[in-house]
Amino acid sequence: MQLSVIIVNYNVKYFLEQCLYAVQKACLGIDAEIIVADNNSTDGSREYLEQNFPTVNFIWNNENAGFAKANNQALAKAKGDFILFLNPDTILSEDSIEKCLKFFEVNKMAGAIGIHMIDGSGNFLKESKRAFPSPLTSLFKLSGLARLFPRSATFARYHLGHLPEKENHEVDVLAGAFMMIPKKVLDEIGNFDERFFMYGEDVDLSYRIQKAGYKNYYFAESTIIHFKGESTKRGSLNYVRLFYKAMSLFVKKHYSGSKAGVFIFLIQIAIIIRAFFSALGKLLKKIGLPVLDACIILGSFGLTRILWSNYIRQEINYSPNVLFFAFPVFTALFLITAFYSGLYDKGYKQMQLIRSTAIAALVLLSVYALLPESIRFSRGILVTGITLAFILMNTMRLLFIKWHYLETSNENEQRRQTIVVAAEKDFFTIAEMLQNAGMTERILGRVSNDSAGSIPVLGNIKQLPGLVKKYQVKEIIFCENGLSFKEIISSIHALPGTSRNKFHASGSNSIVGSDSKNTSGDFIANATNYKIGMPLQRRNKRLLDITLSIFFILAIPILIFIKKNAAAFYKNVFAVLAGKKTWVGYATEANGLPAIKAPVITSTALPQALNDLPVESIQKSDEWYAAGYTAMTDLKKIGKGFKYLHY
């Protein structure tokens, strides 16, 4: 056998699906096998993939064994003369494998080949070619100097920024996302070092290949897409910790003496700096908008009070209660309401801002009406301050949307902003997926080099950049049946950077994409859209659990006498309040459904011990519960199953 393709999967089933379709096309005419080692994915990968890819050899681990160990498991079963280690969040050109194999025929001393990689937006991924880490090289990279001087042979040596992107080069380090190696070389130097759980294993293997007298090559004559953000949450503190651990292990293994000590010291300093800014950036991303809103609200009230006392009602001596009670209370009410209405979720909707402001204003004015006359102040300050705050918060969001700091989910803005590049048959398939996801109105039309069919085309692929600019297209969905994978990858370079790209292999059940290497991937699947998995609904479910638990605690004087088995009931109350249980949940293991806590009662309004329906009926009940979930769903089921809350 000529080739074995090895892929390690962990919770990226839709990306792996697209990857496998591309790999199968790239292997046509080649005696090859595909081996997937799954590291105990919890996203239903086995049920989803195994039946759709009967020719793929799957290894299903019962634990997350790590990238290196999983690759070695697959390598032990590989029969090919060449091994391609490939990430699941990649899409290959049809000629990628064939060209790499031919390169080995010409370059007999080649020990490994990496490839030209781009992200989902067409940007070159610099990690396609790298140098071995040295103290200064790593420090320049981690401190940000490499980014300031991207073409410098000194400061940008980590990514070999001085070497042309479009030319083949002998390099030091290849990315584990695409690494083709002759099996005889691996037999000589050994497999991946399993001490590297994640990160650094490709650096270590590249080092050992060179040490054995072979050469590592960066191959620029074919291109693949590597979404990268999906398999690596690069902004997380966990990434920083694992990266430092991997670099330290590499240094201790291959360097010695004072050089290793200096290296580890410098890397540790750079990692601490990186971790600080990573944590700061993550914090600002989470609380930045709420903090701005709080500042705007407090500033609006402060400005209104000054205007009111100096120009409108000068004769009134305003109580400090204005500052120390009303203003902070409204701010807190607004932020709480906004959080639970989804205002700070991805995708801004103006109605959420209106709803949050209205609810907070209604509560504040109601409380104000109950205050004693002696501590009241002008109602006009409250109304004017609330109005001014709303205007300023809305204006800020409109500016952020215009400057692309904030995304909008407004239906009118999202309509007719997607172009589908596909043959007619797959255009209908994609349209159905979008319809199931509630996105039908976003389709502007179809682009194809073949104008035949009942659906008119907007233009051919060469006209796509012009169409994007003309119609201000926000998203392009490329279907492999409308173009080859190679043509799709080539087309991305010519597109303006304003559009997002997604990809669909003909015959697959999903659409995947990612804006950049630093952002988490996005997907649309030909499956039910479960509302219970939405952040807004999950927050509302948790809020309802807490509210009901507190209510039951306050009602102890009554419930302790009327509730059967009160001790068991209040044991559940405190378990729910602590987040160990939820009042309503699934009746079965619910494979493929969004995970929730263990339930007191189930979707049938009965405890699990009393469910005697057929398994199929119980599973269907769970699916309906997950698909149509709202907080009211839980209230209704708790009302029906109240007598069972002690189970």
In sequence order, what DSSP letters do the residues of 397-408 get, joined into one string? HHHHHHTTSS-B
Where b means 16+ CB within 10 Å and e means fewer, 235-247 reads beeebbebbbbbb
Q: Measured between alpha carbons, how far is 585 from 574 in angstroms, rounded to an integer?
A: 17
Q: Give the residues across from 598 on adjacent strands.
A: 581
How far is 497 from 516, CA to CA, in rounded Å?
11
Q: How far, in Å, CA of 12 to CA of 177, rounded?
A: 14
Give the helix/strand (H/E) hosting 432: helix 424-436
389: number of Cβ within 10 Å: 26
Ranges of beta strands (E only) in 543-619 are 581-585, 598-602
**What proportion of the chain, given as a percentage, has pLDDT over 90?**
33
Q: How far apart are CA 341 and CA 335, in angstroms?
A: 10
According to the model, what pLDDT value does residue 218 have?
Answer: 95
* The pLDDT of residue 65 is above 90: no
Question: Do the bridges between strand 500-504 and strand 475-479 make them parallel or antiparallel, or are there none, so unpaired?
Answer: parallel
H/E stretch holding 186 reads helix 183-189
- In the numeric block, which tokens belong to residue 395? 């204006």
> What does the pLDDT read at residue 362?
87
Tens-digit pLDDT profile for residues 121-153: 888 998 898 887 666 676 677 667 777 888 787
Question: What mean pLDDT value characterizes the chain?
Answer: 83
Whole-model pTM: value is: 0.68
Please count the other Cβ atoms lying within 10 Å of the Cβ belonging to residue 210.
18
Residue 84's identity, in one-letter code, is L
Q: Are strands 215-226 and 110-118 parallel, antiparallel or unpaired?
A: parallel
175-232 pLDDT per residue, tens = 889 999 999 999 999 888 877 666 668 888 888 899 999 999 999 999 999 986 544 4
- Give the lowest-confidence range in 5-14, 30-39, 379-388: 379-388
